Amino acid sequence: MTSTSQNANIEIKTFPIRLGEQGQIIVPQVVQDHLNLTEGDMLTMIQVGELVLLTPRQPQVPQLADKITAIMEDEGVNLADLLTGLQAEREAIWQEQQKDA
């Protein structure tokens, strides 16, 4: 079933879902495709009274780690370089704090 709100132009769709043996549900393929969901993705269930909503919740750590790795590769920087830079940055912060004290 599909309906459209006149005010916000938001499409509302409903999908029948059967509760499985271990409390599992299957997200319809059309929803998986629309939200770009793949096996293992995390979803958050929100209960408001008798209403239940599922929303995609993408873990940020793996995405951030991938971005950091890509930047490191693009810049030709390895973990040892980052740790050395971190030590230098800590020293600079300490020096700045000593000037202000």
| pLDDT confidence bin for 29, thresholds 50/70/90 | very high
| Gyration radius of the chain over CA positions | 24
24 or 9, which is more confident: 24
Amino acid at site 53:
L
5 in any annotated domain = no
Same structural domain for residues 65 and 96? yes
| Structural domains counted in the chain | 2
pLDDT tens figures, 35-72: 889 998 889 888 888 888 888 876 677 777 888 889 98
Q: In this structure, what DSSP letter does residue 5 have?
A: -
9 or 58, which is more confident: 9
Distance CA 4, CA 13 (A): 9
40 in any annotated domain = yes
3 in any annotated domain = no
DSSP string, 15-83: ------TTS-----HHHHHHHT--TT-EEEEEEETTEEEEEEE--HHHHHHHHHHHHHHHHT--HHHHH
pLDDT tens figures, 73-99: 999 988 888 888 888 888 889 888 898
CA nearest to 43, candidates 28, 59, 29, 30: 59
pTM of the model: 0.47
Same structural domain for residues 36 and 49? yes
Same structural domain for residues 41 and 52? yes
